[in-house]
A and B are shown apart, each in its own frame.
Chain A
Amino acid sequence: MRQDGAPLVPRQRPRAVTPETAAQRLSLSTPASDLAVRDVLARIRSWLHASALTDEDRGTVEIVLAEALNNIVEHAYPADAPGEIRLDLALDQARLVCVLSDHGTALPGLRPPDGTLPAHDVARDALPEGGFGWFLIRDLADRIDYRRAAGWNHLSLELRHSRL
Chain B
Amino acid sequence: MGIIIDRRLNGKNKSTVNRQRFLDRYRKHIKKAVSEAVNKRSITDVESGSQVTIPTKDLSEPFFRHGQGGRYKQVHPGNKEFISGDRIKRPNGGQGQGSGQGKAGNSGDGMDEFSFQINHEEFLNHMFDDLELPNLVRKQLQDATEFKMKNAGFTSQGSPDRLNIIRSLKSAHARRIALGGGARKEVKALKRKLRELEVSAEITDTEEVEQLQIRIKELNNKLKKLPFIDDFDLKYNNMVKVPCPSNKAVMFCVMDVSGSMTQEIKDMAKRFFILLYLFLQRNYKQIEVVFIRHHTAAKEVDEDDFFYSRETGGTIVSSALEMTRDIIDDRYSPNDWNIYVAQASDGDNWEGDSSVCSKILTEQIMSKVQYFSYVEITDRAHQNLWREYESLGDQFPDQFAMEQIKTPNDIYQVFRRLFEKKETA
A binds B: no
Interface positions of B (Cβ within 8 A of A)? none
